[in-house]
Structure 1
Amino acid sequence: MTSDLRVSMLQMTSGNRHAANQVTVDEAAHRAAADGCDLLALPEAAGLMNKDKEDARRQITTEAEDPFLLTCRGLAAKYGLWIQPGSTPVKAADGRYLNHGTLIDPSGAIVARYDKVHLFDVFLEGRKPTGESDRYAPGTEAVLVDTPWGPWGLSICYDLRFPHLYRDYAKAGATVLFIPSAFTVPTGRAHWEVLLRARAIENGAYVVAAAQVGDHEDGRTTWGHSLIIDPWGEVVADLGGDAPGQISVTLDIARVAAARQQIPSLENERDYTFTRIGAHETTPA
């Protein structure tokens, strides 16, 4: 297994057209290659962020025809980069869309596909209900992909709140967990960093969480604070919550095994039964 993984993480304010987002990623790939990186990581909805249903419908297409993914594949081959494009919407078989993540290797081939399993159907106080399942079909598979730096686990945004997904990845040997996101401001302020650090600590793995930031063309505002966290839970990169940006860091993959050796919770895990004790009525004496 290769030890050093040099990662470039991009924080974006994605727009409602593929073309502008393609330009952003083209520039980011050039910077990542110039900085000697192995991997470029992008946020959720990197390819398109558009809540106008009709306008989005006219743009969203299949994976094979998606212009953003075609650009990412071309850039991976041009620069010899691995690219984790975060996610972008593509057509699903039932007429809805898939929040679609991929991993592209340095030849430009898509070597792994992951569709967001847990959809953001929530009811935040003071805001309209968020029903991602109104437009998106859920994925049904967790995806772990082998790389020269060990297995990598794929996920997207709201998946972060379902720790068993990452536990399963870690038990299967994952060294890096990808959590590209577009967090809202209230949930980001309250939960983003603490949940990401928990996923890294409890699994002894690196977490790479590229995020959307700021005010978007479609009216949304996102939290930002793209983070990379090491297997001990230390934040090694934070792009802040004010503006787009990019940062490159080198991850020592050997630290995964070291963290798991010091706190072997994956090995210490035990099976158990579940018992629920109800309230008992008492008879007066």
Structure 2
Amino acid sequence: MSHFKAACVQMRSGKSVADNISQAEALIRQAAAEGADFVQTPEMTNVLVRSREELMERITLERDDATLARFCLLAKELGLWLHAGSLAILLEGGKVANRGFLISPDGQVFAKYDKIHMFDVDLPNGESWRESATYEPGKQTMLADLPWLKMGMAVCYDVRFPAIFRSQARQGAGLLTMPAAFTRQTGEAHWHVLQRARAIENGAFVVSAAQGGAHEDGRETYGHSLIIDPWGKVLAEADHDRPGIVVAEIDPEQVVKARQRIPAIANERSFALGEAGLLAEENLA
């Protein structure tokens, strides 16, 4: 299995789709110039806006999406695998998909994934999020065969649901992807430990491009895009919240070695959940 270079594009997407495309393209080209074979952008690459009304004014059906069209041309021109971490895509029924796209070097959409878990929460700092009010959750996880290893697709909040990544790893995924727009508050508390945990428990590489900084709609995201190896070592990190890139070399053989040293997937066993009260009654009988 040959080595390859992976890159995370860290962005600060705003309300202008055209500006976001321009920002993303410049950073993708920078990653390609540094030898990246696989480039990932963050969640909501095409537009980041809190207002549902403003969002609906800016997004289109998939077939008309300007970001996706530009990324397909870029992937072909640069000869790389381009993972649009997610784009806001209008659905026929009036809701929105938070949809990731994997684009092959021939400029074609190779795989796509709709974010499954919706971030519906009231945070202690007064922020309130109800993604399910706007977004239609996905119903299936997704795997894709890259030339070097198998990749699993997920988005942001999915990182808190380890069953997704375990199911991908069981099916051979050696690269797990978690592009995100983590809030600053939750990012400072949990970002690194969640990313490293998913890598360690599955013996897989993790590539997670992030949004970072103060956005036009008033939110703050954490940044700190990460590339992590199967032993949990951080290979590359944007240790800030500014737009930029990070690049790391990926050796697929490390997946094999990690899973040999800690064969957690092979050692998994099914089990039942006992109820203490019932067991106590049985012991008295």
TM over 0.5: yes
Aligned equivalents of 2:126, 2:66: Cα separation in 1: 33
Aligned to 1:220: 219
TM-score normalised to structure 2 length: 0.95
State how many pairs are aligned: 280
Partner residue in 2 for 1:38: 37
Does residue 256 of structure 2 align to residue 257 of structure 1?
yes
Alignment of 1:27-176 (within 5 A): 27-176=26-175
Secondary structure at the counterpart of residue 274 of structure 1:
coil
Cα RMSD between the aligned structures? 1.4
Aligned residue identity for 2:255: V
Compute the displacement of 1:116 (Å). 0.2
Provide closer, same or farther for how the CA distance between residues 58 and 242 of structure 1 changes in structure 2, counting only shifts above 3 A. closer
* Counterpart position of 1:232: 231
Q: Residues of 2 paired with 1:244 and 1:278: CA distance?
A: 55
Match of 1:245 in 2: 244
What is the DSSP-based 3-state SS (H/G/I as helix, E as strand, rest coil) of the residue aligned with 1:267?
coil
Q: Distance in 1 between matches of 2:26 and 2:137?
A: 32
- Identity value in percent: 44
> The residue matched to 2:235 in structure 1 has which SS?
strand
Secondary structure of the 2:85 match is coil
Unaligned runs of 5+ in 2: none
For 2:20, what is the secondary structure of its paired residue? helix
Q: In structure 2, what is the Cα distance between the partners aligned to 1:187 and 1:153?
A: 23
**Structure 2 CA distance for aligned equivalents of residues 92 and 278 of structure 1:** 49
For structure 1, the residue ranges without an aligned partner over 5 or more in a row are none
Matches of 1:277 and 1:119, distance apart in 2: 33
2 CA distance for matches of 1:187 and 1:129?
13
Preserved CA contact (<8 Å) 1:151 1:174: yes
Shift of 1:52: 2.4
1:35-75 deviation line (CA, Å, top 9, x unaligned): 22111111101111012222221211111111111111110
Is the 1:231–1:259 contact (alpha carbons within 8 Å) kept by the matching residues of 2?
Answer: yes
Checking the alignment, whether the CA contact within 8 Å between 2:221 and 2:241 is kept in structure 1 is no
Q: Deviations over 1:181-211 (max 9, x none)?
A: 0001111011110011000000000000100
Corresponding residue for 1:188? Answer: 187
Partner of 1:19, secondary structure, is helix
